[in-house]
Structure 1
Amino acid sequence: MTEERDTTAEMRVEQVERIPSRFRFTWKHLLLALGALVLLLSFVRAVTGAVDLTSSGAINAAIALAVPIGLAGLGGLWSERAGVVNIGLEGMLILGTWGGAWGALEFGDPWMGVLVGALAGAVGGLLHAVATVTFGVDHIISGVAINILGLGITQFLSKVTFAEMPGGGDTQSPPVPKPGLVSIPGIGEPLQSLEAKQWFLVSDLAGIVRGLTVNVSLLTIVAVLLVPLTFYLLWRTAFGLRLRACGERPVAAESLGVNVYTYKYVAVVISGALAGVGGAFLSLVASSAYREGQTGGRGFIGLAAMIFGNWRPGGLAGGALLFGYTDALQLRRGGESVHALLLLVAVLLAGVAVYQLVKQSRTRAAVITGAAAVIVLVLFTLTDSIPAQFTSVTPHITTLLVLSLAAQRLRMPAADGVPYRKGQAK
């Protein structure tokens, strides 16, 4: 009987989620796209001389900067797949930064810091669930309240904990123990030698591979593994099917015996825990201590990555890497590297214009996209670098551009943000 209910529910959920399309993205297409992107990056690097585009340092930094964004996005994915909008991810990240640092210092173990950070974020998620699921508070209002509450609580806790520790203060903690780094043995030096030769494509591949395999934090590996784990749990198990049904058709899920309230609670608490781990990563790996304000809006960028990924783990990971990459470039050699990105953007826009004209027969859209490509190319040609005032906001500009370009193909869960009460009519 249970198997029959699950099968029926799966058919209903898949019918709602299915998006009509003549094109189905496969692993083959993904590999081809990645190969084309590496080739394009190599071309731009060779033309502009901006070596950081494919350097091992930039790639390593991009992964580290993408992790908290990706974890926040995964948190949003869990919550919104169950029908609860989670604007409070930034506040849960903030709670995780304090919890990560305090746990690592209190217990002398960075992994205890990760656990405490996850618990701190989960508490924020629980508060959000109580407000939205039990009391029916507007999801946006509750999320904003969590953001304010997270900032206020951590400011208070910092003053009563870190200020009393040697080397700490009201707004920062003492240096914290960090999770270990791992490397694939025997390949670091050969790849570094190849990277230094600046050969077309070969050196770029060496830099990318070295950045992915040398001095990688163990917590980064854990965070990366959470992406396929999330996909498996939400799309390959009965638990995930029921949870997604709560975000698509909660009334239908209830009619099949699913306790919608329980699944929403579980999803939002897991959402907060994932964001808390992302916050712990910021204080334990990306930095050497907790500092007030170190989240820098990454909870909101994580939401943008989730939307860019169309509420799917794989697309979300790609969005997080994109934002982390642009952030890494502006932090390393901002003016030179970001200026080189203009040529990359111009080529990509030209490619999109050709696709719109040839494959989609959208002449007007192709003309607009082509004009944008010409404008960007002219800007690249007439300038030598980007002023520092603009490079610092590159990740945020990337967020706006990506969301504006991706908006037409998005489909959020049907009942996302819709108030639910047990026994309500369809």
Structure 2
Amino acid sequence: MSVDAQASSGIPPLVEPGPELTVEEIERYSRHLTLAQVGETGQRRLTNARVLVIGAGGLGAPVLHYLAAAGVGTIGIVDDDRVSVSNLQRQVLHGVEDVGDLKTESAARALVRLNPLVAVQQHPVRLNAQNARDIVAGYDLVLDGADNFGTRYLVSDACALAGIPCVWGSILRFEGRVSVFWSGRGPTYRDLHPEPPPAGEVPSCAEGGVLGMLPGTIGSIMAAEAVKLVTGIGEPLLGRLLLHDALAMTWRELRVVADPAAPPVTEVSDGVTRADGPGVCERGSGAAAQSGAGPDAAGAMVEARELAEMLDRRAAGSAEFALVDVREEWERRLVSIPGAIPVALDALLDRGIEALPAEARGVPVVLHCKSGGRSGRALTRLQPDFANREETVRHLDGGVLAWVRDVAPHLPEY
């Protein structure tokens, strides 16, 4: 029966069975052994598998938990971030006692507590074009829970070059998506998104928010797809995109096909890396790369340390400008840059320069938000209004997050 189940998908198991299970393993994984589709052979495949998880955050938390519980023998974790209080709303792998620690370390501790029989390999680095291929090459399967387009393209390219599948998930607000990409057997992430969407069209979770329970739903599906691929059972989401709306509590499925005319991936990059041209999704830390602030945005940005010097000069009476905060009131209550003037983003987008209060008229203006996305939109709206004025309008590159990181590390992130 196990052989028939494996043959149903037409995709053989990814991993050969490992050694015979110990008595401890038989007891721990008995519910899997009871499933005819998995059985002892399937469990031995799981214990012999090497699975890499990109991100130990919202999606990574449930993915890692369930992979460890299922007995995946070696689990790799890629993440260079540290646990913050704002993570705890959805990243249930971490706790209050882990705040400030590397997410890879916190996650590794949690997995060992759950299942000391698994081996955890930490990669506390940011995935980039130089390291992605080497890291991915050591694993049988990758689960991509990245929160940005640049990393998703990196993972897709590295998996394509390694010839291994990638289980991909994405979440934002109340919606989640899951699919399986596998170059040579089906579509890749580049077939779903040949190029990144227009800058500013898709906000990050930090800007757009996310329902705390949604990562659990999507992450659990990703883990289930991983188990199916490792053991060779069921019908994986290869060529299928599963869409979930948690508000409406609905599920939809779309077909995704590989583009037969697309040139092959020849290198790993965070941009478009096909043989027909240079990358167009170069990842940057500033809002110009992610906020839709337009072609002039790069020259209209202020670095955090530069802003600190400007504020010092303003306090000494040798500079004059208005710092405008377009965030929500609750965000300002958590952390604010001294001397900022609150102005509603919607008002700026609707009325332009007319929405600025009197103290922000007739002087240069620096806009800011949390990470640069919203202030970039405000900048785009205000630039035509400032075109024929002596005053300039710019915005803070990286927003409050950059201010906390580079100028005021004693302040909390959120």
Tell me the TM-score normalised to structure 2 length: 0.23
> Larger Rg: 1 or 2?
2
Tell me the TM-score normalised to structure 1 length: 0.22
Higher strand proportion, which one? 2
Point out which structure has higher relative CO (alpha carbons under 8 A, 6+ apart).
1
